[in-house]
A and B are shown apart, each in its own frame.
Chain A
Amino acid sequence: DGGITQSPKYLFRKEGQNVTLSCEQNLNHDAMYWYRQDPGQGLRLIYYSQIVNDFQKGDIAEGYSVSREKKESFPLTVTSAQKNPTAFYLCASRDRPNTEAFFGQGTRLTVV
């Protein structure tokens, strides 16, 4: 079955450490997105990518970095520069604009 896989489901990180969240899709979608979800707020866009080796900043990109070396993979690194990294992170993909969006199960990151 096609879908999006995020790992790990739960992640704990010490302050000052970088951590990488995995997102893999086997839907052959060109576009992939990373969102952050905080309690009481809508999902906010961190980064997106329309094609391999290309990506763009979203609304809240500071303190995050991404890569898109393969079509199926779009990992997100939460760096020590991100001031408030504890949140729920969701990865999504779409074939092209105005098509259905597919989401992963999310990764809950806690900084301790």
Chain B
Amino acid sequence: KNEVEQSPQNLTAQEGEFITINCSYSVGISALHWLQQHPGGGIVSLFMLSSGKKKHGRLIATINIQEKHSSLHITASHPRDSAVYICAVGMYGGSQGNLIFGKGTKLSVKP
């Protein structure tokens, strides 16, 4: 069974700061997802990656397959980035594409 660990659990930042959220997993995966959950509860997919690095606007996601580790970076953070960020992994041979989720990192960006 894959264990997905995120750190930190909670993060408070000042507007403009560079933010890093980490995700580690225990066994090989087919892909890793970064998701964003706003206070209303709905979840939006930010990235899906299986190697290297992806960038979208101020968000950057990296993954190191050998070390079983991924990071989500937010540059020039803004209060609207305040949300819970969730890491999820897809397993080879898993339940028809089911994802295993971390517990999330709650980010609060102060103006």
A residues engaging B (CB < 8 A)?
Answer: 31, 33, 35, 40-45, 48, 50, 56, 58, 88, 90, 92, 94, 96-106, 108
Contact = CB atoms under 8 A, between A and B. Distances in A.
Given A42-B102, A98-B90, A50 B96 contact: yes
A105 B40 contact: yes
Contacts, number: 72
Given A40-B103, A97-B30, A88 B97 contact: no
Contact of A102 (B45, B90, B95, B100): B45
Contact of A33 (B50, B98, B104): B98
A17 B31 CA distance: 39
Contacts of A105: 40-42
Interface of B: 4, 30-31, 33, 35, 40-45, 48, 50, 86, 88, 90, 94-104
B101 A43 contact: yes
B103 A58 contact: no
B25 to A, nearest CB: 12
A106 B41 contact: yes
Contact of B95 (A41, A45, A108): A45
Among all A-B residue pairs, the 8 with the closest Cβ atoms: A97-B97, A42-B101, A105-B42, A103-B43, A106-B41, A43-B101, A42-B103, A50-B96
B65 to A, nearest CB: 14
Nearest to B96: A50
A98 B45 contact: no
Contacts of A98: 30-31, 50, 90, 97
Given A42-B4, A42-B103, A42-B104, A97 B96 contact: yes
A44 B103 CA distance: 10
Contacts of B4: 42
A48 B45 contact: no
Contact of B99 (A41, A56, A88, A101): A101
